[in-house]
Amino acid sequence: MSIPGKATAVSTHNYFQQHPAIGTATVPNLGWHISQAGFGSYRVTTGQKHHEQALRQALLSGINLIDTSSNYG
């Protein structure tokens, strides 16, 4: 999955105008608005339909914080 462009303070603010029920935080010095809940993608595999559906549902629900780290802790 690819989304063109990049995050900006304006674009992330506008994103949450479409998702007013989602709690947000602002990244200091960047002004990006991020969802307070995120999607952890540890062990999520490309090509697994249920993994792709879970990520898609998170994005459609207003989640814009995607943790792609393979190591937590």
Q: Domain containing 51: what range?
A: 9-67
Taking the C-alpha atoms of residue 9 and residue 24, their distance in angstroms, rounded to an integer, is 13
Over residues 66-72, the mean pLDDT reads 77
Q: How far is CA 32 from the centre of its chain?
A: 12
Least confident of 5-9, 27-31, 58-62, 66-70: 66-70
Interval 26-52: pLDDT, tens: 999 999 999 999 999 888 888 899 999
Note whether residue 4 is domain-resident. no
Structurally, how many domains does the chain consist of? 1
Q: What is the pTM of this model?
A: 0.77
Over residues 5-27, the mean pLDDT reads 93
Note whether residue 45 is domain-resident. yes
pLDDT at residue 1 tops 70: no
